[in-house]
Amino acid sequence: MSENIEKVKCLIIGSGPAGYTAAIYAARANMSPVLYQGTQPGGQLTTTNEVENFPGYPEGVTGPEMMMQLQAQAQRFETDVRDGWVTKVDFSGDVHKAWVNETKEIHADTIIISTGASAKYLGLDSEQKYLKLGGGVSACAVCDGFFYRNQEVVIVGAGDSACEEAHYLSKLCKKVTMLVRRDEFRASKIMAARVKNTENIEILFNTETDEVLGDGQVVTAVRVFNNQTNEKHEIPATGFFVAIGHKPNTDIFKDFLDLDETGYIINEPGTSKTNIEGVFVSGDAADHVYRQAVTAAGTGCMAALDAERWLAAKDSAFEVSTSTYN
């Protein structure tokens, strides 16, 4: 083996709630995990100011603070947390290989994938400005809807998730205006019917976002245009929700792992196992349904336990086979 190749028992890819929770469990099981943080140390929660729904924080916590605490907890048990982006993997042989920053090669007995997913945004400058300011743009109604109780909000999207999020918001907000680009929903009939039948949801078909308007700090309205007539008008709103989908960060695994049509890793139901022995998945990289920090953490725990049990079973099989020959 070349000197540049490092051999590890457990490689964790990603530093969100899934990755750090997997690290806490793997480290406490003596698996000496090595965790690569990627380009977003701490993951998606580092982009939000308020987390009020993670158990154990009665007063709430900021996303960055919570992720620093998770990192510290993983390091307390001697997780080796490193900078670096896994650029390539090879799961074709008995040894699971991964390359970091194109160069460093790692051979891992077990790999836990916790690379998350990225919410898609429209890409308007005004949208990005208020997103970065934490001033009223969000891609997660379940996470942030509570902050807009009794207020008026706008949501963009036409699929099942958008309908579900609009319906969720309608129970909290005074009024929800839903912008649908085409003249019909992409969502299933049942989900579309649910929003159509909700009194405080107004649906604007053939309608797109022109600008997110605000006072420089927070959103105050959304200017929209009808893509058939080009007519523009403003909708007063304090929240602008984008529900046009997520992209799982799984491109590097596509030649080896089973993915669904969107790119989410398919796991064996009720476990974190992928189609490759010794490779496990946790968090949003495999979850298009719940997409919450607490569920990511829960599946991170599952992945570490599955990895530890897989390794133990492999080691005892090896002991049995070698003792047979002795």
Ligand X SMILES: Cc1cc2nc3c(=O)[nH]c(=O)nc-3n(C[C@H](O)[C@H](O)[C@H](O)COP(=O)(O)OP(=O)(O)OC[C@H]3O[C@@H](n4cnc5c(N)ncnc54)[C@H](O)[C@@H]3O)c2cc1C
140 is catalytic: yes
Name the active-site residue from 80, 90, 140, 301.
140
Stretch of 32-40, 155-163, 177-185, 261-269 contacting ligand X, by CB under 6 A:
32-40
Asked if 186 and 209 touch (Cβ cutoff 8 Å), the reply is: no
Site string for ligand X, 8-27 (x = CB under 6 A): -----xxxxxxx--------
Binding mask 204-243 for ligand X (x = CB under 6 A): ----------------------------------------
Strands (E), the chain: 5-13, 34-36, 80-82, 86-90, 96-100, 104-113, 117-119, 137-138, 152-156, 175-179, 201-204, 207-214, 219-226, 232-236, 239-242, 246-248, 279-281
Secondary structure of residue 124 in the 3-state scheme? coil
Query: From the CB of 324, what's the least distance to ligand X, in Å?
Result: 40
Q: Does 153 bind ligand X (CB under 6 A)?
A: no
Q: Binding residue for ligand X (CB under 6 A) from 179, 296, 302, 311?
A: 296
Strand ordering across the sheet containing 219-226: 207-214, 219-226, 232-236
Type of residue found at 58: P
Q: Which two tokens stand for residue 291?
A: 């997409």
Which residues, 51 to 70, sit near ligand X by CB under 6 A? 51, 53-54
Q: From the candidates 10, 83, 109, 143, which is the catalytic residue?
A: 143
Closest to ligand X by CB, 47 or 151: 47
CB 30 within 8 A of CB 115: no
Q: How far apart are CA 166 and CA 157, in angstroms?
A: 9
Interface pattern 245-274 for ligand X (x via CB under 6 A): ----x--x----------------------
Nearer to ligand X among residue 123 and residue 325 (C-beta): 123
Interaction between residue 303 and ligand X (CB under 6 A): no
Buried-state track 81-95, b at ≥16 Cβ within 10 A, e below 16: beebebeebebeeee
Given a contact cutoff of 8 angstroms between Cβ atoms, the answer to whether 298 and 320 are in contact is no
Per rule CB under 6 A, is residue 96 in the interface with ligand X? no
Among the listed residues 45, 74, 112, 173, the single contact to ligand X using CB under 6 A: 45
How far apart are alpha carbons 218 and 239 in whole angstroms? 9
Measured from the CB atom, is 185 or 241 closer to ligand X?
241
Question: Beta strand 232-236 with 104-113: parallel, antiparallel or unpaired?
Answer: unpaired
Name the residues that contact ligand X, by CB under 6 A: 13-19, 36-41, 43-45, 47-48, 51, 53-54, 85-86, 114-116, 119, 138-140, 143, 249, 252, 283-285, 291-294, 296
Which residues are catalytic, by number? 140, 143-144
